[in-house]
Each structure stands twice: as structure tokens, then as C-alpha cells.
Amino acid sequence: MELIACDGQWQQGPGGEVICAGTLQNVPGGGPFGLPPMTYAEANMLLGSIGILWAAVFCVRQARRLF
């Protein structure tokens, strides 16, 4: 995802569109905390890892409760 900035003022056009009264500039993407953006494959791998960790902790807690 690319972000844009306006070095002037943002205005609303007659049809509701957004107009920059200056020059549009690309803002380099960095994601939150300056990290590079994630791909869908990386996000799915992270979510899968979190799910496996959650399941493991849940199983350990249930086993401790039984014994």
C-alpha cells in the first residue's frame, strides 16, 4: 500500500472527490514501527504460528488441570 501526502491543503470537489491544492508526494511505506510491510504469505504464516502456540498452551493447561 502506498500513501500520498499533499504539500498544500486537501479540498473537497463539487462531486465529493478529494482534491490536493498543492503537489502530491509519495510517502515511503514502512508499516507500523518502521517495519517493512508483510506479504499475505508472511501474514498467514504468522497467524498459523500464533494458532499453533495458542493450541499448545491450551493443551498444556488442560493437561495440568487433569493431573
Sign, Cα dihedral of 24, 29, 33, 37: positive
Cell numbers of 9, please? 491543503
The DSSP call for residue 25 is E
Q: What is the chain's pLDDT, residue by residue, as a tens digit (67 residues)?
A: 677 889 989 999 999 999 999 999 888 766 666 677 788 999 999 999 999 999 999 999 999 999 8
Residue among 61, 31, 59 at smallest CA distance from 46 = 31
Q: Report d(CA 39, CA 31) in Å as an integer.
A: 12
